[in-house]
Amino acid sequence: MALKVGTLAPDFTLPATNDKKISLSKDLAGKPCILYFYPKDFTPGCTKEACEFRDQFAAFRNLEVDVFGISRDSVESHKKFKETHKLPFELLSDVSGSVCKAYEALIPIIGIPKRISYLLDKDHKIVAVYQDFFGAEEHIKAMLAKLKNL
């Protein structure tokens, strides 16, 4: 089950592919963003999803919305994934899974992140959630549709 629309997103600080730590409350204060959780770098569904976010990135930037991908992969793996697929957004490494868990994005027992996307407004309230483990491309369509209706 995902976090509910209308609730405040849990704060976090995670290492990113730009060799910095990204903090929701500090670095993204007053900015809307999309946090998309995904299982693993270089897997077919995750690659398709990341590349779709890449291909639609201009639309998100035009709406002044930052995009961040989060999984339990290491920063090193994320850097290779980002470089290989020319991703224009940061990937955040949640090796411990604590942020995935806080966002209800962790499959119990096996500890793999679910495929779930959250749209946060400038106050970091959740305004949209999309969850579909197999529909990678649908996450992007759902987020863009919600943004255009705000």
Task: List the catalytic residues.
Answer: 46
CA distance 124 to 10: 9
Q: Which candidate, 136, 19, 119, places its Cα nearest to that of 74?
A: 19
Helix extents (H) in the chain: 24-27, 44-55, 57-62, 75-85, 98-102, 136-149
For residue 1, count CB atoms less than 10 angstroms from its CB and return exposed for 0-12, middle for 13-18, buried for 19 or more: exposed
DSSP 8-state symbol, 112: P
Helix axes 44-55, 136-149, angle to 10 degrees: 30
